[in-house]
Amino acid sequence: MKIEHQEQILNVVKAVKDREVNNIFFVGCGGSKAALGPGDYFVARELEIPSKVYTSNEFIHMDPKGLGEGSLVITRSHSGTTPETVEATKFAREKGALTVAISMDTESPLCKEAEYVVHYNYKDGSDAVDGDTGMYYALIFNLLNAFSPDEKYERFLNSLSNLENLLNVNKEKFKEVADSFGKRNKREKLIYTMASGVYYDQAYSFTSCLLMEMLWIHSNAIHAGEFFHGPFEVTDYDVPFLIINGEGPTRPLDERAIAFAKKFSDNVEVVDMKDLDLTGVEEDLKEYFAPALSGAVMRLYADGLAEHTGHPLSVRRYMWKMEY
């Protein structure tokens, strides 16, 4: 991680230590909102401080009662130009909250509205891997360590230097199976995704941003814990499911859903996080590392579909082409 990025994170940590934080809000839209999800998950799992993820426009219109000087608000937009997120950051700052913006461009409208900025150099490609994944995890685990110091957080942060290598190793490991998935499912007009725990946001992002936005394939992200409370009724022999079997405490939810889906559907693809190559990762840190790797692995499944459908992920009908 570059020195300037370390300094940005340390500045946020110092600001947090200098005030009493009563709650944490994670605010963004689409893929950026989903990318914030693991932060909310780990705060809820590790700390007693309440937190919640909001889509930006809802955050403004709802005006959460607890939002104020005791709030830490972390907003995110890849370009830094998402209007709703820029307004949400301005709104939170006017309420007296400590605001932190995550973006690739420090000169973006989002970063100019926030009190603190954590950026990544994705735009020039110089640290795309480190920026999109490692930077956020570094921020979250530095914050966890600030709120509730623990040597395991420090060990995780010290191990992040190996993240890029693990990402490359696992992309190579899953490349062929993901391509095979794309080849088998290239004619499918609907694919359901399913996950639980920290991986649910990954299923949501895959559904909304990759299948629906980029590939124009109908989909719905189903929480594995909710599968048996309605959605499982759509299961049939020809209904496709793409299911993340997580590494961590909610894995039993995934395994129950997988067992049922496989019993009645002939098209169930399981992406098992225990199949990840986590060489060098200590056992008690695997539930932190696996989610950081899952996004890169899941992207391969979208790449496989794009390759075999002949539908590039860059194609849009409406987005960026008109007022909406």
Q: Indicate the CATH number for domain 3-149.
A: 3.40.50.10490
Residue 9, both tokens: 């994170």
What is d(CA 285, CA 128) in angstroms, rounded to the nearest whole number? 23
Tokens at 182, concatenated = 């794309």
**The domain over range 177-309 is classified in CATH as 3.40.50.2300:** no
Tokens read off for 264: 């009645």
**In this predicted structure, what is the pLDDT of residue 132?**
75
226-273 tens-digit pLDDT: 999 999 999 999 999 999 999 999 999 999 999 999 999 999 999 999
Name every residue whose Cβ is closer than 8 Å to that of residue 11 and which is 6 or more positions away in sequence.
116
Q: Tokens at residue 270, please?
A: 């399981």
Structure tokens given for 199: 């991986």
Is pLDDT of 29 > 90? yes
Nearest alpha-carbon partner for 126 in 1, 297, 291: 1
The mean pLDDT value of the chain amounts to 94
Write the burial class of residue 167 (CB in 10 Å: 0-12 exposed, 13-18 middle, 19+ buried). buried
C-alpha radius of gyration, the chain, whole number = 20
Contact 164, 134 (CB under 8 A): yes
pLDDT band, very low/low/confident/very high, at 34 (cuts 50, 70, 90): very high
Stretch(es) of the chain classified as CATH 3.40.50.10490: 3-149, 177-309
- What is the token pair recorded at 229? 């409370």
Tell me: the pLDDT tens digits for 79-123?
A: 999 999 999 999 999 999 999 999 998 999 999 999 999 988 755
What pLDDT shows up at residue 4?
75
